[in-house]
Structure 1
């Protein structure tokens, strides 16, 4: 089968561009097309629940609405993410913003109260609002937990659900997850501004976060699912939590990952998904696609093309 040269025309749809990618071989464009087709198949399969993981600054990088759309339309069952993305979702819910085009002199940025994430920026004033608002939410949750049988103990998943119930922003990932019964897990939650404020709050309040408690609920979700597909944006802890949660059932049935990391170091972030089969984190015969590139550029393209084919 020959490689077709990519043909571009004016006003073509994203799905049409993806068809051009599909015929171009198995290099970058071909992998992107395979990932988009796999995403369609996963979403259209009524027997498949989809676990999505996000590592890296994907909310600051512009994917907040896309993740929200997946949740709102019940296209994912579980979201596993870093504490940083939780923090930045809430920062926007509390009126903060992420900025661009402010320059790269980091000492001057520091003096001006601005933090930099590559070429995305945040203001310390927004984090001050975040800190005051999240403490109010912790106080509400703490009073609620103190009054029930849990003796002040709460799992991360339930904590995030309770936070989502108290957010008014209709675009908040946490709020949408609460409204649409999508479970959010953040195994590295403490390693974030959210986690720092939580630690400070627990110094003089009775609120104990039980990370192990998440595994009871997550394992139930795995065993209740006929098939599981995975969307993994970036690597790290969220990717491993997604794959490892399926270990006891023989692994995921389908999966796509987008990563910038390389496999030579042996890190999980750069490992091709085929490697997961050796650990029973992906099943024999599972449909797997690894795309090397920037998730903030490639996943919107993959999802936009898939929308024309989703039932």
Structure 2
């Protein structure tokens, strides 16, 4: 009976409480507060070990103001590899070039917004004219690349980050990753403005850029095979989530049996009963049935808006795990035409 008798600790209020103290107090409560605290604990365990940490980024996190949180994760190596939707990377590029996202209202008249050439993402606005300028930058940049070979998305975004470092107005995810030699993969580049911009460039004869997304997959498997252990953090789900999950099934390509990710954190608002990947569970064995997660993996699903959970989690880690972060053993990469892992 004793294992069922751990008491709830009522959350105390006091002045001057730090974010890490807030999370520690949440650990004594229930529901998603406790799950969030468990997520911070698991992330700290990943950092303390020798795990290679993958982050899957879906949803409109950059337009929602989470960009500098991602930059912090990259610069301070709380993650080792970023797998993102094309949309988040495009919005990051947009802000690096001086574009803006504005606070709006979800109940605004969308016909009026359309007449003013303003796009809406729930309660966030952006200028269509500014967006067009960012799209033009993508076309011009792609035209500067070698025309007769295919690029991995990892190499493309590394080179784009380097170009932004000198041509952009401010740093962001792409520039931070290029400086840190941290690989970024985008498994569905066509499902974003990168795809539509490059489609327009191809039709008009301005660029004929090709992506080798199969080589992306090969490189991801290489990263997993080179790691003593792996951990995953999923913000939302979608293509980034599966792209990371599937690598643990494929070690035999390189003659290595991978047993699954040893750590897994998911922040999602989706539910498992609809059958979608964004709600696919850790706790009830679904991911384990595919051998994507080890049987004894430390896992948690936080059912929360990521714009609430992630800033709290990262702020808490920056306070409570600063020594672990500073002294962490982490993989290093050379991001040339070929990926080198050291």
Report the TM-score range of the alignment, normalised by the length of the smaller protein.
Answer: over 0.9
* Counterparts of residues 4-83 of structure 1 (less than 5 Å): 4-25=9-30, 27-45=31-49, 47-83=50-86
Structure 1 residue aligned with 2:307: 296
Q: Distance in 2 between matches of 1:20 and 1:73?
A: 26
Given that residues 8 and 17 in structure 1 are in contact (C-alpha distance below 8 angstroms), is that contact kept between their aligned partners in structure 2?
no
Is residue 266 of structure 1 aligned with residue 263 of structure 2? no
Q: Secondary structure at the match of 2:99?
A: coil
Is residue 138 of structure 1 aligned with residue 142 of structure 2? yes
Q: Distance in 1 between matches of 2:179 and 2:318?
A: 22
Q: Distance in 2 between matches of 1:245 and 1:179?
A: 26
Q: CA deviation at 1:152?
A: 2.2
Match of 1:109 among 97, 109, 113: 113
Q: Secondary structure at the match of 2:144?
A: helix
Unmatched segments (≥5 aa) in structure 2: 1-5, 251-257, 325-342
Q: Secondary structure at the match of 1:254?
A: strand
Q: CA deviation at 1:44?
A: 2.2
Given that residues 83 and 186 in structure 2 are in contact (C-alpha distance below 8 angstroms), is that contact kept between their aligned partners in structure 1?
yes
Given that residues 55 and 238 in structure 1 are in contact (C-alpha distance below 8 angstroms), is that contact kept between their aligned partners in structure 2?
yes
Q: Secondary structure at the match of 1:272?
A: coil
Q: Secondary structure at the match of 1:269?
A: helix
Q: Secondary structure at the match of 1:216?
A: helix
- Which sits farther off after the overlay, 51-60 or 199-208? 199-208
Q: Secondary structure at the match of 2:79?
A: coil
Q: CA deviation at 1:309?
A: 2.2
Q: Distance in 2 between matches of 1:252 and 1:155?
A: 24
Q: CA deviation at 1:306?
A: 1.6
Q: Distance in 2 between matches of 1:126 and 1:193?
A: 13
* Counterparts of residues 157-236 of structure 1 (less than 5 Å): 157-168=154-165, 169=168, 170-203=170-203, 204=205, 205-236=207-238
Q: Distance in 2 between matches of 1:196 and 1:101?
A: 26
Inter-CA distance 13–84: structure 2 relative to 1 (3 Å threshold): same
Q: Distance in 2 between matches of 1:157 and 1:191?
A: 16
Count how many residue pairs are aligned between Structure 1 and Structure 2. Answer: 302
Given that residues 156 and 209 in structure 1 are in contact (C-alpha distance below 8 angstroms), is that contact kept between their aligned partners in structure 2?
yes
Q: Distance in 2 between matches of 1:64 and 1:297?
A: 14
Computed over aligned residues only, the root mean square deviation of the Cα atoms, in angstroms, reads 1.3
Q: Distance in 2 between matches of 1:76 and 1:16?
A: 23
Q: CA deviation at 1:298?
A: 0.6
Structure 1 residue aligned with 2:294: 283
Q: CA deviation at 1:246?
A: 2.1
* TM-score (norm. length: structure 2): 0.85
Q: Secondary structure at the match of 2:218?
A: helix
Q: CA deviation at 1:279?
A: 0.5
Q: Distance in 2 between matches of 1:78 and 1:277?
A: 22
Q: CA deviation at 1:259?
A: 0.2
Match of 2:91 among 64, 88, 93: 88
* TM-score (norm. length: structure 1): 0.94
Q: Runs in 1 of length 4+ with deviation above 4 angstroms?
A: none
